Amino acid sequence: MRLTTVLDEGRYRPVAVRDDDMVVVIDTRATGLAGIRALAAGGTTALARLESWLERQPAEVGTPLADAILGPAVPDPGAIYTIGLNYDDPAAPDAERPERPLVYGKAPSSVAGHGAALTWDRSVTANVDAECELGVVIGETAWAVTPGDALRHVFGYTIIDDVSSRDPWLDGDQWLIGKSMPGFCPVGPWVVTRDAIDPADIRLGCTVNGVAIQDDRTARMRTSIAEVIAYLSRHVELRPGDLIATGTPARLTGRYGPERHLQVGDVATAWIEGIGELTTTIR
């Protein structure tokens, strides 16, 4: 199942994607499910209730996906954790690996949806990059779980564009601030529930104006999704709707090499096989 939010009368409403081209607003009174985090907390029981409700809805109920304004797939995460240096770089096979996952963060107020426009104060930072990451949406609360039990606590997967400043005074020692400006965390276009995708070896990447800047596979992760969840859960309690951005592949060389940062008018598209595309326009 695919779940996201749409902007409706000034607020984000949870929706289910039906037949690939329609979105159906979830009736929170009829289902008892108040949003994406409530679905994540309810797990398989909540999904079964939602599926039963959807089956009872007439086929014509819904809005064409093309006409919907998508919001963040998880509009109100309790926490956002990002994992650094988590992909092997084929161009640097002998590079030293971290002894443990490098954990950074993003403010929940930085989330944005598919198709959003992104702008920021260029006097604060002019060197900003897009980064495609497989996003994990936590379901059942995870505290001190083992790698063998970790994936049971996953509700689903999404795309996170870990937009980040590269200026030394932000990228070097102020990771949270350099990753947390409004709109610096596009999430979407939807959450794919864990039963519908195997994330162990899928292709992912990012383009800017159609030019590839990343292209890799999740199999190249240094620390697996289960290991990341287990590690985090030894230090923090992971709660329903929390997001984990599991790391980003190396930047490609070529027309848009590492020194080329996002500019006004750019269209950045993060994509992941089996999930879709997450597009942001730079203003």
pLDDT digits (tens, 9 = 90+) for 49-59: 999 999 999 98
Q: What dotted CATH number matches 80-282?
A: 3.90.850.10
pLDDT digits (tens, 9 = 90+) for 8-32: 888 999 999 999 999 999 999 999 9
**Residue 253, CB-side half-sphere exposure with 13 Å CA sphere:** 3
Encode 24-41: b = buried (16+ Cβ within 10 Å), e = exposed. bbbeeeebebebbbbbbb
Enter the pTM of the model.
0.96
280: helix, coil or strand? Answer: strand
Instruction: Report whether pLDDT(97) > 80.
Output: no
Question: Which is nearest to 114 in space by CA: 183, 61, 22, 34?
Answer: 183
- Mean pLDDT in residue range 140-146: 98
Domain ranges of the chain: 2-67, 80-282
pLDDT digits (tens, 9 = 90+) for 214-245: 999 999 999 999 999 999 999 999 999 999 99
**Radius of gyration, alpha carbons of the chain:** 18
Question: Which is nearest to 75 in space by CA: 201, 185, 153, 212?
Answer: 185
Decide the pairing of beta strands 154-161 and 116-118: unpaired
Given a contact cutoff of 8 angstroms between Cβ atoms, the answer to whether 86 and 100 are in contact is no
- Mean pLDDT in residue range 151-166: 97
- Bridge partners, residue 18, by sequence: 22
pLDDT for res 153: 98
pLDDT for res 171: 64
pLDDT digits (tens, 9 = 90+) for 243-262: 999 999 999 998 999 999 99
Beta carbons within 10 angstroms of residue 254's beta carbon: 10
Instruction: Report whether pLDDT(2) > 90.
Output: yes
Rounded Cα gap, residues 228 and 99, in angstroms: 13
